Copies of this chain bind each other. A is one copy, B any other.
């Protein structure tokens, strides 16, 4: 089986999860090419070195462009702030690499379109880190919907709420820079928008209100002066799906007490599904005519859970979802069907984010083009 050389840019939270996922992929997935951790790059050279040591990268450096010239690197994994995604991705594509880029793909749909166009032109395999939809139970949900088990879908209600920005003393950072994209609507909203699309297909129109709850924040860590916040803390979207039903989505990063309230309830004429990432190994299913909601626990019958554990009830964790993502990406590079989400899908999601922001300013419904 071939091996695939990895060049990773960024050593933060997502950098680490990429490395974990790449390391585990071929052991969990029979037929998955092995990932060779070739080089990790970070503007902080010490961070790159530490990460290379810990995760077993062969090389490390502080010059991400050097990765493009290494013929032993097949894949560039981008885990830097959003604002740097386009430059890095375009360069990687130009260098003939396959590209994994963390979400959201870009600060806006225009940049995402550039990236998508370049990737499709080059024919490279792309992947964007919407890891939560890699959950076997969400694939089950998608398949149940597609098979008509829920009947006609009548409504969707989605949320992604956390509280990591709830404290007004959390200082300004790239996450709060409008040039880098929206606030909660981009950072968290992209996940639940992507999940909605994964389950129900395209969204045709949006009517949104974006709310900046904490108006100013310290301009930097430890700073005494404060800077105005221009992005949203909470976004409330009302939606129309192309398939005909409506829905709503909330993205909220000031939801005190919530660490991972990413979930949905969707209703159809033949039943309903309820999910929350807070209990990621459970899916509630109501079948019209039945006696109540049934709690489905992940088991070997829900692919690819059985590759992680042959017995039911043992549960997957977050890093396992990332491993699925990385394995699917590596197998796609090796010729298997591309599972995505790819740059095109991320561009579609970005358009909805952009339209939500515009809708909030226009105070009106806007179509997704």
Instruction: Verify B272–A255 contact, CB threshold 8 A.
Output: yes
Question: Size of chain A's interface in residues, with CB distance under 8 A?
Answer: 85
Residue of B nearest to A365 (CB): B363
Cross-interface CB contact of A297 among B166, B250, B292, cutoff 8 Å? B292
Q: Which residues of B contact A245 (CB under 8 A)?
A: 211, 213
A252 within 8 A of B: yes
Instruction: Verify B252–A256 contact, CB threshold 8 A.
Output: no
Instruction: Verify B291–A296 contact, CB threshold 8 A.
Output: yes
CA distance A164 to B313 in the complex (A): 11
Instruction: Verify A233–B317 contact, CB threshold 8 A.
Output: no
Which of A221-229, A304-312, A337-345 lies on the face that meets chain B?
Answer: A304-312
Residue of B nearest to A152 (CB): B213
Cross-interface CB contact of A295 among B207, B252, B277, B293, cutoff 8 Å? B293
A54 within 8 A of B: yes
> A301: shortest Cβ distance to chain B, in Å?
9
Contacts A278-B297, A299-B259; is A213 near B154 (CB within 8 Å)? yes
Instruction: Verify A295–B297 contact, CB threshold 8 A.
Output: no
Q: Which residues of B contact A291 (CB under 8 A)?
A: 285, 294, 296
A303 within 8 A of B: no
Interface residues of A (CB under 8 A from B): 13, 16-17, 19-20, 23-24, 26-28, 30, 34, 54-56, 154-155, 157, 159, 161-164, 166, 168, 207, 209, 211, 213, 233-234, 236, 238, 245-248, 250, 252, 254-260, 265, 267-272, 277-280, 285-286, 288, 290-297, 299, 308-320, 363-365
